[in-house]
Amino acid sequence: MLVASNRGPVSYELRPDGGEGTLHARRGGGGLVSGLSAIGPDAGAVWVCAALGDADREAVRRFEGGRRLPAEDTGGQQVRMLDIAPDVFSDAYNGIANSVLWFVHHMLYQTPLEPAFDAEFRRRWASYEAYNRAFAEALAEEAAEGAAVVVQDYHLTLVPGMLRDFRPDVRIGHFSHTPWAPVDYFRMLPDDIAEQVLRGMLGADRLGFLTRRWADAFTSCCEALTGGLAGTRIGVHGLGADAEFLRERAHRADVKERMAALREEIGMAPDGGARRTIVRVDRTELSKNIVRGLLAYRQLLDDRPEWRERVVHVAFAYPSRQDLAVYREYTAEVRRLAEEINARYGTPGWTPVVLHVEDDFARSLAAYRIADVALVNPIRDGMNLVAKEVPVVSDAGCALVLSREAGAYAELGDDAIVVNPYDVVGTADALHEALTMAGPERAERSKRLAAAATALPPAQWFLDQLNEL
Ligand code: F6P
């Protein structure tokens, strides 16, 4: 069995030691790694991924050309890391996957100016093809006769078709962790490119999506552009949260320390009682809608002064894709707005927005545990695991304010307070409703949210796909 994804289960950091530096392995971020990590070393799978930066390339150099990373770094998982030429990698990952395909599926373009599919785009597309070919070649080399290969995400849409040509004997699955664009939006891509993406994916025996909505959108694209699914099967697998792992991890000492530190930062309400917390945890990702979340919080403080001094917005926005200027600008805007809110409303004993930007999983879990309200308001999101994780970990039960454009809405919509992510005033009202929800109702709903969120644990999610394949 083989798994292929751009980001692997680990990424390295090179720390100076006076010599050639020491490599430290860190767990990769994002929903894809969270889901696939449950495969575990016993399944005997080989996970093929790309070197993401200089430290990863150094690891490839030190460890047999990346053919297998050391088991102590990967938790025993067999990992093959591909060193794709830095300029090819960057054009494929930054220039196409994250700037074009991600934008199409999350509908992020500001269309009067973007996109413009010019000669530079075509040049990058050739790199995207080369990068996909590098994966297909490595998989063809690794796969035993009749092996099952599960390819992940928008980075690798061409791999199924390429691998099919190299190795007609293997069974190929592809899973999309993102939404799929509606057909009219998808057709922004030049016709030949749109068709190449679809035909690349249709090289798989079976395609998986997180919700019926994304699967149907893909099918509509195929009906419009390739004359149908050409025998490829489609399935829906709604990745759930890993309750066992999260609950155990959330009760370790480092999380407790961070809870104490957070409580200190949040402070006490003027009457000496605990302040309410609105928690959000995201990569600083354009689709996560962090800025409108802050605008909604500001609106809440404006419209309902009774909440001043009595609520704190705990916002963790971890850096992501900082090679792209638009992500750096978005990150700066998040900071600017948080500072503006703090300057406008803050008092000596109250910081309205507690913003942290350094990635710290233990601190995220600490925030989940103390959350009264979780704010998950993406513009569009394949699933959004934070929406599923908070109710599972929360100590006293939390109210969930959830965008109807998140894949998780399909499973959690009944017990969440649902918002249109563009509607700032509506989101402010939803925050108020969540903050004022009576304790017993909040606890009840949170329990039901946690049950729905864990209906399909990651290990089963993966096994189901494999069985169907
Ligand atoms: O899980 C969803 C996802 O978008 C993956 O496709 C992606 O690998 C991950 O989140 C994080 O993004 P990146 O790998 O660009 O940091």
Tens digits of per-residue pLDDT, 62-116? 998 989 999 999 989 999 999 999 999 999 999 999 999 999 999 999 989 999 9
The burial class, CB within 10 Å (0-12 / 13-18 / 19+), for 413 is middle
Q: Which residue do the tokens 């590098």 mark?
A: 134
DSSP code per residue over 281-326? EEES-GGG-HHHHHHHHHHHHHH-GGGTTTEEEEEEEE---TTSHH
- The mean pLDDT value for 349-367 works out to 96
Q: How far is the CA of 224 from the centre of ligand 1 (A)?
A: 28
- The mean pLDDT value for 425-434 works out to 98
Measured between alpha carbons, how far is residue 28 from residues 3, 20, 74, 434 in Å?
A: 15, 24, 11, 32
Q: How many Å apart are CA 248 and CA 78, to the nearest integer?
A: 25
Q: How far is the CA of 5 from the centre of ligand 1 (A)?
A: 10
How many C-beta atoms lie closer than 10 Å to residue 14's C-beta? Answer: 17
Measured between alpha carbons, how far is residue 459 from residues 38, 127, 146, 240, 381 in Å?
A: 5, 33, 22, 10, 22
Provide the percentage of residues in the chain whose pLDDT is more than 90: 94
The burial class, CB within 10 Å (0-12 / 13-18 / 19+), for 249 is middle
pLDDT band at 371 (very low <50, low <70, confident <90, very high): very high
Q: Which atom, in ligand 1's list, is nearest to the CA of 93?
A: 15
> For atom 16 of ligand 1, which residue has the closest CA?
320
The model's pTM is 0.96
177 three-class SS: coil
Looking at residue 56, its pLDDT comes to 97
Q: How far is the CA of 446 from the centre of ligand 1 (A)?
A: 27
Q: Which atom, in ligand 1's list, is nearest to the CA of 320?
A: 16
Measured between alpha carbons, how far is residue 334 from residues 328, 351, 364 in Å?
A: 10, 16, 18
Three-class HEC string of 116-172: CCCHHHHHHHHHHHHHHHHHHHHHHHHCCCCCEEEEECHHHCCHHHHHHHHCCCCEE
Q: How far is the CA of 151 from the centre of ligand 1 (A)?
A: 14
Q: Is the ipTM of this complex over 0.90?
A: yes
28, 23, 33: which is closest to 63 by C-alpha?
23
| Ligand 1 pocket by Cβ (under 6 Å) | 6-7, 29-32, 153, 177, 320-321
Looking at residue 235, its pLDDT comes to 98
Q: How many helices (H) and strands (E) does the chain have?
A: 20, 15
Sheet containing 2-4: give its strands across: 78-82, 46-50, 2-4, 148-152, 171-175, 206-209, 233-236
Measured between alpha carbons, how far is residue 364 from residues 271, 320, 393, 421 in Å?
A: 28, 16, 10, 23
> For atom 12 of ligand 1, which residue has the closest CA?
30
Pairing status of strand 78-82 against strand 148-152:
unpaired
Q: How far is the CA of 29 from the centre of ligand 1 (A)?
A: 7
The burial class, CB within 10 Å (0-12 / 13-18 / 19+), for 19 is exposed
Q: How many Å apart are CA 115 and CA 124, to the nearest integer?
A: 14
> For atom 3 of ligand 1, which residue has the closest CA?
30
Q: Which residue do the tokens 């373009």 mark?
A: 109
> For atom 15 of ligand 1, which residue has the closest CA?
321
> For atom 11 of ligand 1, which residue has the closest CA?
30
Scanning 143-281, the segments in alpha helix (DSSP H) are 159-166, 183-186, 191-202, 212-225, 243-249, 253-266
Q: How many Å apart are CA 19 and CA 108, to the nearest integer?
A: 45
Q: How far is the CA of 359 from the centre of ligand 1 (A)?
A: 15
Q: Decide if pLDDT at 170 tops 90.
A: yes
> For atom 5 of ligand 1, which residue has the closest CA?
32
Q: How many Å apart are CA 22 and CA 108, to the nearest integer?
A: 39
Q: How far is the CA of 97 from the centre of ligand 1 (A)?
A: 10
Mutate which of 7, 282, 287, 461 for ligand 1 pocket (most atoms within 8 A of beta carbon): 7
Q: How many Å apart are CA 371 and CA 276, to the nearest integer?
A: 8
Q: How far is the CA of 143 from the centre of ligand 1 (A)?
A: 25
- Please name the amino acid found at residue 235: G
Q: How far is the CA of 31 from the centre of ligand 1 (A)?
A: 7
Looking at residue 128, its pLDDT comes to 98
> For atom 14 of ligand 1, which residue has the closest CA?
7
Q: Which atom, in ligand 1's list, is nearest to the CA of 32?
A: 1
Mutate which of 3, 26, 27, 32 for ligand 1 pocket (most atoms within 8 A of beta carbon): 32
Q: How far is the CA of 98 from the centre of ligand 1 (A)?
A: 9
Q: Decide if pLDDT at 44 tops 90.
A: no
Q: Are 454 and 388 in contact (CB under 8 A)?
A: yes
pLDDT band at 279 (very low <50, low <70, confident <90, very high): very high
Q: How many Å apart are CA 425 and CA 447, to the nearest integer?
A: 28
Q: Are 67 and 34 in contact (CB under 8 A)?
A: no
Q: How many Å apart are CA 340 and CA 316, to the nearest integer?
A: 17
Looking at residue 42, its pLDDT comes to 81
Looking at residue 346, its pLDDT comes to 98
> For atom 7 of ligand 1, which residue has the closest CA?
30
